[in-house]
Structure 1
Amino acid sequence: MAANNIDEVVDGLAGIVRDSVRDADRAGYFAALYRQVTVEVRRGIHTGLFDDGPRMDRFDTLFGNRYFDAYDAWRRDRTGPRCWREAFGLLHDPDTIIVQHLMLGVNAHINLDLAISAADTSPGEAIHALKRDFLLINDILARAVLAVQGAVGSVSPYLWLLDKFGGRTDEQILDFSIRRSRQEAWDNALLLAGQSGARRERTIDLLDARAALLARLIARPGGLVRPAIQLIQSTENKDVSTVIEHLDRALDGPPSP
């Protein structure tokens, strides 16, 4: 699938969510989070939040299409960027918990796709004018992530163990990962905006390799996190379709019991 504007990105994500609910496909976990973030970005465009609404529409469309391309490549023949292959390859793994699926999608989309999309939107010196709008998305992401993580807690009641054993007692798990990664994505966007040809492709390949390594660390953490994940998994809601629908309503109001 290929989107021509942010409305089509939202529609495409909604379609993946619907298909995932129908097929009990864990791809719907990240798609539900991403759809809600995109809806909030679209609202920001319509309300004049960004300095340049049409530019943000182009940016979000390029960003969305990178996800759609990776999703389609995996469905077609198990190809695509390495970091996305790591994420999609765990969709049928019953030992991977809900928040890991979300973090794997966040990792691939932000640590690889975001910088490329920003540089494609505003190449060369034009990248500097994009910075304020780029960073404004942090606030949108923070709101969406807090809502979605609250929803995850409703279907994964022992999720708090990741904070306890992962050493992040004062930060939300997903919010921590996203904020740190987005700053790095901006630095990488500045780099890519000034590159072309083989040099640019080499940089993208290195970003993909790094994101793939991070994906493996997310999927198979060491130390006390591993037994914590096993306990979390044993208590999670195992009805994939129900979990997707629950996550997809996260921004509609407080999580249901």
Structure 2
Amino acid sequence: MEAVLARMRALDERLPAQDGVAVFNRVYLTVTETLYERISHGGFPAPRRARELSARFAERYLSAVEADRPPACWRPLLQYRRHPGVRPLQHALAGINAHIGHDLALAVVATCHSLDCEPRALEADFDRVGDTLVALEERIREDLMPGPDLLEIADPLTHLLGSWSLERARSGAWAAARLLWTLRRSPELAEEFEESLDAGVGLVGRCLLTPTSRIPRTTWTFAPLA
């Protein structure tokens, strides 16, 4: 995990503070550091499994934001990362959506292959990692939530905040991981399901990044993707 933490810290130093990816990276870095501390100090019954799962999980995010052609689930955040009509809270939630909705399931499957175990062997570690991710969402809402007056004015933001649930995304990730593991002997079906999962999570992310204020078109551009 030291390697992924170093990469996240380097990303934090490199990106402008207002960049949408930087917003997500800051809170995710804090939570990953907390997770690493808990694993190191006996907070997980099987530290090797927890460390492997957490590292593979974080690596998927880092690979996505550094890729020339990122997965579909990450493209909305990367395209809207500098849009002035999208608030930091939306950037952060879009990152969580991509990371949990897509990356977590694939990280579970990769960990099972690496450790030669079934998903059920990782369930306790998955739940503990999930509990840490709940703290991630709570921290994001605490640090980035606009004041009540602004929320009353920005009614679309209020609607967006209530339309996504970390618990539902977490449950969906576990179900997706189990299904992908079952499909491991049918590579074509597994690939088809993975592509569908990626696209579906990307669609949700695009909705979460709906601009909540009117901005003249001349003041912003999409971040290019290959």
Which residue number corresponds to residue 230 of structure 1?
A: 213
Q: Are 1:108 and 2:98 an aligned pair?
A: yes
CA contact (8 A) 1:20 1:26 kept: no
CA contact (8 A) 1:125 1:193 kept: no
Which residue number corresponds to residue 241 of structure 1?
A: none
Pairing 1:1-257 to 2, within 5 Å after superposition: 6-21=1-16, 24-73=18-67, 77=68, 79-123=69-113, 126-153=118-145, 158-159=150-151, 165-166=158-159, 177-196=165-184, 197-220=187-210, 229-230=212-213
Please tell me the residue identity of whatever aligns with 2:5.
V
> Can you give the 5+ residue segments of structure 2 that lack an aligned partner in the other structure?
216-226
Between the aligned partners of 1:71 and 1:134, the Cα distance in structure 2 is 23
RMSD, matched Cα: 2.7
CA contact (8 A) 1:111 1:184 kept: yes
TM-score, normalised via structure 1 length: 0.73
Aligned CA distance change for structure 1 residues 122 and 195 (closer, same or farther; 3 Å): same
SS state at 1:82 partner: coil
The alpha carbon displacement at 1:130 in A equals 0.6
Between the aligned partners of 1:135 and 1:62, the Cα distance in structure 2 is 16
Please tell me the residue identity of whatever aligns with 2:98.
A
Aligned CA distance change for structure 1 residues 21 and 148 (closer, same or farther; 3 Å): same
The alpha carbon displacement at 1:163 in A equals 9.5
Between the aligned partners of 1:31 and 1:167, the Cα distance in structure 2 is 21
Aligned CA distance change for structure 1 residues 53 and 159 (closer, same or farther; 3 Å): farther
SS state at 2:183 partner: coil
Between the aligned partners of 2:139 and 2:35, the Cα distance in structure 1 is 15
Aligned CA distance change for structure 1 residues 38 and 163 (closer, same or farther; 3 Å): farther
Please tell me the residue identity of whatever aligns with 1:145.
E
The alpha carbon displacement at 1:99 in A equals 1.0
Which 4+ residue blocks in structure 1 deviate beyond 3 angstroms? 153-157, 159-165
Identity of aligned residues (%): 25
> Can you give the 5+ residue segments of structure 1 that lack an aligned partner in the other structure?
1-5, 221-225, 234-257
Please tell me the residue identity of whatever aligns with 1:147.
R
Q: Deviations over 1:173-221 (max 9, x none)?
A: 69x622220111011111112222222111110100111111122122x
Please tell me the residue identity of whatever aligns with 1:112.
H
Between the aligned partners of 1:144 and 1:216, the Cα distance in structure 2 is 20
Q: Deviations over 1:15-55 (max 9, x none)?
A: 11111147x53321010111112112111211212221111
Q: Deviations over 1:108-143 (max 9, x none)?
A: 111111000001111486110111110112322223
The alpha carbon displacement at 1:146 in A equals 1.9
Task: Point out the more displaced range, 52-61 or 141-150.
Answer: 141-150
SS state at 1:230 partner: coil
The alpha carbon displacement at 1:145 in A equals 2.6
TM-score, normalised via structure 2 length: 0.82
Between the aligned partners of 1:162 and 1:146, the Cα distance in structure 2 is 21
Aligned CA distance change for structure 1 residues 219 and 147 (closer, same or farther; 3 Å): closer
